[in-house]
Amino acid sequence: MSKINIDNLIKQSNFKSNIYLPIIEAIVNSIDAIDDENRTNTEKGRIEITFERDNTLFNNDSNNLSDFINVTIYDNGVGFNKDNTEAFDTLFTERKVNKGGKGFGRIMYKKYFQYIEIESVFFDNEATVFKKRKFIFGNKDIVDKDIVEETTDTMTWSKVYLKNKKKGYFDKKLETVSKKILENLLPYFITENYVPPTIILYVPPTIILNGGESQQITLNHLYETSEYVKNIKEDTFELKDTDGKIETFSISVFKIYYPQNQKSSISLVADKREVTSTNISEFIPEFEEEFFDEENKRNFIIKAYVLSKYLDKNVDLERLSFKFGKTNTKSLFSFSQEDIEKKVSEIIEKEFYNELTSRQEKKKEKVKEYIKDNPWFADYKENIEWNKLPIHPSDETIENHLHLIKYKSEKSVKTKINSILQNVDEDFEKKINDVFESLDKAKQNELAHYVSLRKVVLDIFKTVLERPAGQKYSREQLIHNIIFPVKKDSDNITYEKHNLWLLDERLSYTEYLTSDKPIFKQSGDRPDIFSFDNKVAFRGDNEPSNPITIFEFKRPGRDEFVNKSSKEDPYDQIIRYIKEIKEGKLKSIKGRPISVADNTPFYGYIIADLTGKVKDWLKNIKDFDPTPDGEGYFKYHKTLKLYTEFISWDKLLKDAQMRNGIFFNKLGI
């Protein structure tokens, strides 16, 4: 053949392989060679794999063994006769295409080992004599320095010497190496030709692993004794594509004992060789952990091997993936890898129904306890997708999953609100109140932090304030419910259920606030926080250094409170409440004193429409100064340590829109 740069070929090929692949490749080639020899049961095929450790670092300590660096694979197959040698020397040969051979696997020898030598005895049919062949795997010629001579041997055999490992690491113990090799060869122990419903049994050759320290493990025995692996189920299933084409698949399910760090998995097999392996937990979270066999008192995992002609004909050149996509099929293929694996996971789920049910109940109990501590999620319990939660979900995972459900619910509510905003009619108030009742449910947790919902709230608030000229403003209770529900206080409502962020972000985290409920025992006053006519004090922790904030709201369209005869002067009311608080006359509804000191800061806010009459009252009667933007007024009362600010409803809306605008832009809303 033409000369090639094998090292460069390997460098340019993006192989997803490991150190075990060349060993598996050599063993499979040996199995094929034994099949070609057509041995009888009395002359059963035999394969021996000998692992040699690095003698320069040899250590008898079983816990600190030196690495395996050389591997020899022997078989008593047909040997490297003329045809087999030419095929070995031909890159991408089709000689074993009917067995799934791609003519490329032996290149893996060069990827992981520096020196490869082949020695073989074969029968020369033309000369009718046995001959011995010896050659090395060259850097430019696959078969290099080929030497052939007659021999006195009367049996055919081959040896592949893989010397001086240059990358990758085998497991230290021969037992572990044996188990990994067996798992890759399990399809050879299942069947020769699995064509449902008929199973043609296949008797694999004897495969022996030698460890170099008089240690020997027979894979056949390892498989048959069930000390490590046990076949528990054989089944078939069909998949039908959109064109009605049907493909048949076979599945063999094994229990793998002593799994170490492995996970239960689904392996897709092509031509008896494992090509892909996917954790079953991707489809069924309860398979994330090992299972326990009560009868054998051992842990185990599940490995399901899937065989099909569909897989055989669509495997990639390196036998490390398939031509069809992992999640989406390309135009030429009927099914994706995920299509097949999902069906297999459904079969396995039925097989392990009892074990999975027990694990799911524990998961459900944990979620139930989480919702018990976070009751605002109770409405979403029925919508939980249990297969999307891991077997032991963290609080954060549960929270995220519930938020996803919450988002979907909120999206539905927003759709309804947008429809109402686009069609303002005489039933507007009723529709808005109905939606806000639903919204209360949908935004149970952290409404203030859901930026998309803030946009909806601002749109509604803007619509309420901008009622057409000549119409009365929406009645107070509607605006009240938008900002804070009536008849509620912070003991029975969480910050997620109100929109105090419209006024000030800090109010979302106030320790105690109330709405239309008695707040002071002595006076029996029932400040309706958002009645726009009464007072309310917001306070932080009950410490003298914490500020106390008092709000006075006036309904949009009203300005008669500035008249001399009015008893609703908002600034005077704020001062009166501060004096009563400082004099210790007032206690909370629970009898707790409102602790203040001489240096306790007070903040007063008056929210009303800024009419010409109100401007005159602020500047000339109350001695307020205009804010830098000219849209509000402020004043500082030095003796009371009181800072008071007048904010118009328009400015309140504008400021809230501006504060949240950057988030809306980020979300593209």
pLDDT (tens digit per residue) in 308-320: 999 988 988 766 7
Supply the pLDDT for residue 122: 94
Residue with tokens 């859901």: 450
- Phi/psi at 285 (nearest 5 deg)? -55, -30
Q: Which residues, 6+ apart, have CB-to-CB distance to 496 below 8 Å?
A: 376, 443, 444, 445, 446, 447, 448
Q: What pLDDT is recorded for position 503?
A: 80
Percent of the chain having pLDDT more than 70? 75
Measured over all CA atoms, what is the biggest interatomic distance in the chain, rounded to whole angstroms? Answer: 130
Backbone phi, psi, residue 648, to 5°? -80, 160
Identify the sign of the CA torsion 167, 172, 178, 184.
Answer: negative
Mean pLDDT (the chain) is 78
CA 343, CA 516: separation in Å to the nearest integer? Answer: 58
CA-CA distance, 161 to 155, in Å (whole number)? Answer: 20
Say yes or no to pLDDT of 661 above 70. Answer: yes
CA-based nearest residue to 513, from 549, 544, 479: 549
Rg (CA), the chain: 40
Statement: residue 441 has pLDDT above 90: no
Instruction: Encode pLDDT of 602-638 as tens digits.
Output: 888 898 889 999 999 999 999 999 988 888 899 999 9
21: confidence class by pLDDT, cuts 50, 70, 90 = confident
> What band does 133 get if pLDDT is binned at 50, 70 and 90?
very high
User: Band of the pLDDT at 472, cuts 50, 70, 90?
Assistant: low
pLDDT digit string, tens, across residues 410-438: 777 777 777 776 776 777 777 777 766 66
Tell me which of 35-49, 74-88, 377-391 is least confident: 35-49
User: Cβ(646)–Cβ(608) under 8 Å?
Assistant: yes
Alpha carbon dihedral 159, 165, 168, 172, in 10-degree steps, equals: 80
Please say whether the beta carbons of 449 and 500 come within 8 A.
Answer: no
Is pLDDT at 226 greater than 70 in this prediction?
A: no
- % helix / strand / coil in the chain, to the nearest 5? 40, 25, 40
Most confident of 56-70, 91-105, 213-227, 228-242: 228-242
pLDDT-derived band of residue 98, with 50, 70 and 90 as boundaries? very low
Helix (H/G/I), strand (E/B), else coil: 431:
helix
- CA angle 555/620/536 to nearest 5° reads 35
Three-state secondary structure call for residue 436: helix
Q: What letter would DSSP give residue 140?
A: S
The pLDDT tens digits for 586-610 are 665 556 666 778 888 888 889 888 9
Residue 397 has pLDDT above 70, yes or no: yes
Is the pLDDT score of 528 beyond 60? Answer: no
pLDDT at position 574 is 87
pLDDT band at 304 (very low <50, low <70, confident <90, very high): very high
CB 103 within 8 A of CB 95: yes
Residue 203 has pLDDT above 80, yes or no: no
User: What local confidence, expressed as pLDDT, does residue 248 receive?
Assistant: 93
pLDDT tier for residue 11 given thresholds of 50, 70 and 90 = low
Residue 376 reports pLDDT greater than 80: no
Q: Are strands 273-279 and 265-270 parallel, antiparallel or unpaired?
A: antiparallel
Greatest mean pLDDT among 3-17, 99-113, 554-568, 618-632 = 618-632
pLDDT at 430: 76
218-229 core/surface letters (b: 16 or more CB in 10 A; e: else): ebbebbeeeebb
Domains parsed from the chain with CATH numbers: 1-176+204-212 (3.30.565.10), 226-351 (no CATH), 485-662 (no CATH)
CB 523, CB 586: distance < 8 Å = yes
Copy the structure tokens of residue 169. Answer: 């690491």
Mean pLDDT on 88-97: 57
* CA–CA separation, 653 and 651 (whole Å): 5
Q: Which of 105, 112, 110 shows the shortest CA–CA distance to 27?
A: 105
Helices (H), 135-284: 174-190, 219-224
Q: How confident is the model at residue 9 (pLDDT cuts 50, 70, 90)?
A: low
Cα separation, 582 vs 594, whole angstroms: 9
Q: Which stretches within 598-648 are classed as H helix?
A: 612-616
Q: Which of 75-84, 121-130, 233-242, 372-381 has the lowest mean pLDDT?
A: 372-381
Q: Which tops the pLDDT comparison, 650 or 203?
A: 650
pLDDT band at 15 (very low <50, low <70, confident <90, very high): low
Mean pLDDT, rounded, for 49-73: 81
pLDDT digits (tens, 9 = 90+) for 552-598: 888 888 888 899 888 888 898 888 888 887 887 766 555 666 677 88
Instruction: Name the pLDDT band for 73 (thresholds 50, 70, 90).
Output: very high
533 pLDDT exceeds 50?
A: no
- The long-range contacts involving 219-225, CB below 8 angstroms and separated by at least 24 positions, are 219/178, 219/181, 219/182, 219/185, 220/189, 222/178, 222/179, 222/182, 223/182, 223/186, 223/189
pLDDT, greater one: 378 or 344:
344
**Mean of pLDDT values over 643-668:** 82
